[in-house]
Structure 1
């Protein structure tokens, strides 16, 4: 038997012995007292169990879902949209009447610049949230 069960059994025996000595008029107070001690022990046991489970679980389960932690990243949407818009923009900018090769280079430099800025912002936000998580 567990020592906690032994203590609980002794408390119950002591409560029953006190009831025999004091009589039925103190029965409700004795039962209330025993129940309060039992509740306190159960609460402590539940807290220990929850704390042990939280310690055993991986850290990612406790954190809210953030970009970059599974699933598609917001930057990947921008990359797909950039490529989809890059096709007609390439046709327009590559037309000799609208700029030719210079227009084409300017168009793709803009697309690459926007994607680079978005990726840099995502990485910076990820580092900022990671540094805050170290204090949790």
Structure 2
């Protein structure tokens, strides 16, 4: 078990204990507080991973070679998309669970898994990059008018 996992487990235990002591009227505030701590933990982990990935890319560029890409989109793009959906899953899960209990939570996670599955299967990173390349071309063409 990671030290961060142990910290979150302690936070969860403290939140549950406080819920028993304070009663149901504070349940929403306690859940929001705990989810905020989870989100901070996820954000710090993502930041650390992104910094590591950027450092690796800078090392590759410094060596003069290109990073290897798999099936048209880089690992960093796939990882970033997955992390964004996991960060968004926290408040969406809370909303689904509060409004519709277990069925709401299940529908929320089915949507999250579905979006990630479609992204993984179709490799939307390639299409987004093509769109960005074509928009750059159109900007180059329109810059002729500015001369």
Q: TM-score, normalised by structure 1?
A: 0.43
- Provide TM-score, normalisation by structure 2: 0.40
Larger radius of gyration: 1
Q: Which has the higher contact order (CA 8 A, sep 6+)?
A: 2
Report the structure, 1 or 2, having the larger helix content: 2
